[in-house]
């Protein structure tokens, strides 16, 4: 009977490890997705800043042109 329990325990442990591995893979995928989201947000922020600087340059050029006319 001890061997039966030992086999059952080993099977339970294998099943537990398989579930843990799936959980770890999901967590790693979630971390990867979160990192990609942060990269995308950073790129969007950079684009917003670039567009703001570009708009300010256009405004300054227009003001300079208006003041020299």
pLDDT tens digits for range 5-63? 666 656 666 666 676 777 777 777 777 788 888 888 888 888 888 889 889 899 999 89
pTM for the full predicted model: 0.47
d(CA 27, CA 33): 10
């Amino acid at each position: 009977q001890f061997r039966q329990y030992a086999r059952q325990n080993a099977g339970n442990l294998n099943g537990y490890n398989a579930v843990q591995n799936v959980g770890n893979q999901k967590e790693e995928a979630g971390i990867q997705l979160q990192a990609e989201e942060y990269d995308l947000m950073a790129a969007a922020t950079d684009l917003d800043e670039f567009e703001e600087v570009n708009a300010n340059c256009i405004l300054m050029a227009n003001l300079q042109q208006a003041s020299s006319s």
